[in-house]
Amino acid sequence: MTSAPLEAELALLRECQDRVLEREGIPMVLSLVSEVGPMPVVTSADVRAEGSALADSMDRVRAAVLPTSRDDDMGCLISVLQSVSYVDFGREGRA
Amino acid sequence: MTALTYTAHRESIAEGRFVRVVNYHNTPMSGIDGLRDELAAYARRFESITLAELDGFFATGSWSSDRPGFLPVFYEGYRNSAEVAGPVCDELGLTGVFMVCTGFVDTPVAEQEAYARSHWIGLLPGDLEHPGERLAMTWDEIADLSQRHIVTPHTASHAGIADTATEEDFEREIFAPKRLMDAVTGQSAPAYAWLHGTQWGMSQRHDQALQQAGYRYLFCNTMIHRIG
pLDDT tens-place values along chain B, 228 residues long = 889 999 999 999 999 999 999 999 999 999 999 999 999 999 999 999 999 999 999 999 999 998 889 999 999 999 999 999 999 999 999 999 999 999 999 999 999 999 999 999 999 988 988 888 999 999 999 999 999 999 999 999 999 999 999 999 999 999 999 999 999 999 999 999 999 999 999 999 999 999 999 999 999 999 999 999
Q: What is the pLDDT along chain A (95 residues), one digit of tens a residue?
A: 567 778 889 999 999 988 877 778 899 999 999 999 999 999 999 999 999 999 999 999 999 999 999 999 999 999 999 999 999 988 877 66
Residue A4's pLDDT is what? 75
Residue B129's pLDDT is what? 87
Pair B228, B214: CB distance under 8 Å: yes
Single out the residue of B54, B68, B79, B69 nearest to residue B150, CA to CA. B54
- The phi, psi pair for A88, rounded to 5°, reads -65, -45
Single out the residue of B128, B130, B189 nearest to residue B154, CA to CA. B189
Residue of A nearest to B69 (CA): A47
Please state the length of chain B.
228
Residue A95's pLDDT is what? 65
Residue of A nearest to B123 (CA): A22
Residue A5's pLDDT is what? 76
Dist. CA B219–CA B192, nearest whole Å:
6
Pair B99, B156: CB distance under 8 Å: no
- The phi, psi pair for A40, rounded to 5°, reads -70, 155
B residues 22-81 lying closer than 8 A (beta carbon) to A = 22-28, 31, 38-39, 41-42, 45-46, 57-63, 66, 68, 72
pTM over 0.90: yes
How many alpha carbons fall within 13 Å on the CB side of residue A70? 5
The alpha-carbon gap from A4 to the nearest alpha carbon of chain B, in Å, equals 24
Query: Mapping DSSP to helix (H, G, I), strand (E, B) and coil, where does residue A14 land?
Result: helix
Dist. CA B123–CA B114, nearest whole Å:
10
Residues 6+ apart with CB under 8 A from B40: B92
Residue B172's pLDDT is what? 98
Residue B169's pLDDT is what? 98
Q: How far is CA B212 from CA B121, B163, B175, B179, B215, in A?
A: 27, 19, 8, 12, 8
Look at the alpha carbons of B13, B25, B119, B157 in this order and tell me if their dihedral is positive or negative: negative
A residues 39-68 lying closer than 8 A (beta carbon) to B = 39-44, 46-48, 50-52, 54-55, 58-59, 62
- The phi, psi pair for A32, rounded to 5°, reads -105, 120
Residue A22's pLDDT is what? 72
Please state the length of chain A.
95
